[in-house]
Copies of this chain bind each other. A is one copy, B any other.
């Protein structure tokens, strides 16, 4: 691609400009913010919370199952208490690594170990576009964001995991149409909201049909994720517990994520909030393992702080970064894959969006997160999704992935460089050397959005800022989206299922 392509009227071949899809790895020791001794203090404080205070499990079936394995349940109270030994025994069956299957083998993801997975924005109630401003989520926005998340190589999972809520689709059938869009517009691994067991069952069946596998095969191949939020402090609600039961029974992936804002739903100090996060996460993970020992589950962290002046949550803060690193240390202590997030509180795709997101992303990656959700397109503390931000974030994800690739500092590689230095000598120039010519097309990461043109050229082009450049790129990507191949009979079966369930009325919405 020539640089002129950016300025001329020619449509850029954006797909060709992207690095190939791949999962980065953190090959070095993750960052730590506390010592091993301090980590044990946090661990023990969490076990004390579980033993002395306990967690409310609002679903009677959940309490019954937990009592069966030795947890303390008293009468009709929702409260469940766990002995320290019981918690440690229960979580010990959770796998430390597993494969998450996509709609094609090339989409399969390694979860755990030193592998990193990036997920796109999810659960935003609004979408904002640079040209038209913010609006409530709708199916058009949902589809555009799903297409974009499919086309952007560094986004590994859940396009269609409600990058924005399509509120113009009735809640009783929203999960069906959303899963249809997600499974036909993309073959990357998908996501279902745990909003009552029937929705989970519907989408599990749709994923099975879309992948063309049997029930037995699906039960052997985790292919769908669901995020389970504790209702902090110290409570799991009915829909979430039903989601755990449905998903774990089918060996599908659960991401247990307390949402513990320090100073609001958790103690104001970050270590204190993490004590609570850890207690809630361990209780949720333990319940997953009670339902189906060995079922894939991730340790999720989503602790940040509130702005104490306005009471609003803030993300991409120093406190958020510390909490994310602490979560990683704890997950590794338990041998569990760790889920973190890429976040920003900014309302605009401006400098704040850039630095908050990069800050959260670096903290998550260097802190050993295995899955970083909301890593593309998340804005306004999660209250809106942005296609332009998704494109900016794709650049950030590619930058970080490039950074994580190992350096070749072997004697052989350095000898070649020394030969080039000898060839050029003092006061010379390296551009024309063979060493440079052999490598100049591939040696450096070439970004989509970052603009490295000089001031004069950039001014001739109208001084577009990153937001404006990302807008054009997002539009080109969405326009260039192509549905991934799916055999016609499979597609027809999938649509038949959706149509049948819609005809049946979907899911009652008065729970």
Interface residues of A (CB under 8 A from B): 1-3, 28, 31-34, 38-39, 41-42, 45, 48-49, 52-53, 55-56, 78-79, 134, 231, 233-235, 262-273, 275-276, 305, 307-312, 314, 317-319, 321-322, 326, 345-359, 362, 366, 380-381, 383-384, 392, 395-396, 399-400, 402-403, 407-411, 413-418, 420-422, 424-431, 433, 435-436, 439-441, 443-446, 449-455, 458, 463, 465-467, 470
Alpha-carbon gap, A425 to B53, bound state (A)? 7
CB of A264 within 8 A of CB of B452, answer: no
Checking B308, B350, B427 against A231 with a beta-carbon cut-off of 8 angstroms, the contacting residue is B427
Alpha-carbon gap, A34 to B454, bound state (A)? 33
Chain B residues with CB under 8 A of A48:
418
- Taking each of A347, A349, A351, which has the highest tally of chain B beta carbons within 10 Å of its own beta carbon? A351
Checking B78, B305, B452, B470 against A314 with a beta-carbon cut-off of 8 angstroms, the contacting residue is B452
CB of A3 within 8 A of CB of B309, answer: yes
The 9 tightest CB contacts between A and B, nearest first, are A354-B354, A272-B417, A351-B354, A38-B409, A354-B355, A318-B402, A350-B465, A234-B426, A351-B466
CB of B42 within 8 A of CB of A414, answer: yes
Chain B residues with CB under 8 A of A350:
350-351, 354, 465-467
This chain: copies in complex: 2
Chain B residues with CB under 8 A of A358:
354-355, 358-359, 362
Alpha-carbon gap, A7 to B144, bound state (A)? 36
Given contacts A350-B467, A355-B354, contact A268 B416 (CB under 8 A): no
Query: Nearest B residue to A400 by beta-carbon distance?
Result: B318
Chain B residues with CB under 8 A of A399:
317-318, 359
Say how far A301's CB is from chain B's closest CB, in angstroms: 15
CB of A422 within 8 A of CB of B269, answer: no
Chain B residues with CB under 8 A of A134:
455
Given contacts A234-B421, A318-B402, A425-B234, contact A458 B268 (CB under 8 A): no
Alpha-carbon gap, A218 to B45, bound state (A)? 54
Query: Nearest B residue to A401 by beta-carbon distance?
Result: B318
Say how far A368's CB is from chain B's closest CB, in angstroms: 13
Chain B residues with CB under 8 A of A263:
430-431, 436, 440, 443-444
CB of B403 within 8 A of CB of A452, answer: no
Alpha-carbon gap, A383 to B458, bound state (A)? 14
Alpha-carbon gap, A435 to B322, bound state (A)? 20
Chain B residues with CB under 8 A of A39:
409
Q: List 24 A-B contacts (CB under 8 A).
A: A28-B33, A33-B407, A45-B411, A45-B415, A52-B422, A233-B426, A233-B428, A234-B426, A263-B436, A263-B443, A268-B440, A268-B443, A269-B439, A270-B407, A272-B417, A305-B443, A312-B454, A318-B400, A321-B403, A345-B450, A351-B466, A352-B450, A352-B465, A356-B450
Given contacts A3-B309, A431-B264, contact A414 B52 (CB under 8 A): no
CB of A269 within 8 A of CB of B455, answer: no
Chain B residues with CB under 8 A of A275:
414, 417-418, 421
Alpha-carbon gap, A429 to B400, bound state (A)? 37
Checking B55, B413, B427 against A235 with a beta-carbon cut-off of 8 angstroms, the contacting residue is B427
Query: Nearest B residue to A453 by beta-carbon distance?
Result: B310
Checking B264, B322, B403, B465 against A348 with a beta-carbon cut-off of 8 angstroms, the contacting residue is B465
Chain B residues with CB under 8 A of A421:
49, 53, 233-234, 266-267, 272, 275-276
Alpha-carbon gap, A137 to B463, bound state (A)? 21
Checking B381, B413, B466 against A346 with a beta-carbon cut-off of 8 angstroms, the contacting residue is B466
Checking B264, B381, B425, B445 against A430 with a beta-carbon cut-off of 8 angstroms, the contacting residue is B264
Chain B residues with CB under 8 A of A408:
269, 271
Given contacts A49-B418, A134-B455, A380-B455, contact A352 B466 (CB under 8 A): yes
CB of A355 within 8 A of CB of B355, answer: yes
Alpha-carbon gap, A359 to B354, bound state (A)? 10
> Other than the known A233-B421, A350-B467, A355-B357, what 11 A-B pairs have Cβ atoms closer than 8 Å?
A28-B33, A34-B409, A266-B430, A269-B408, A272-B417, A275-B421, A350-B465, A352-B450, A353-B354, A354-B354, A355-B392
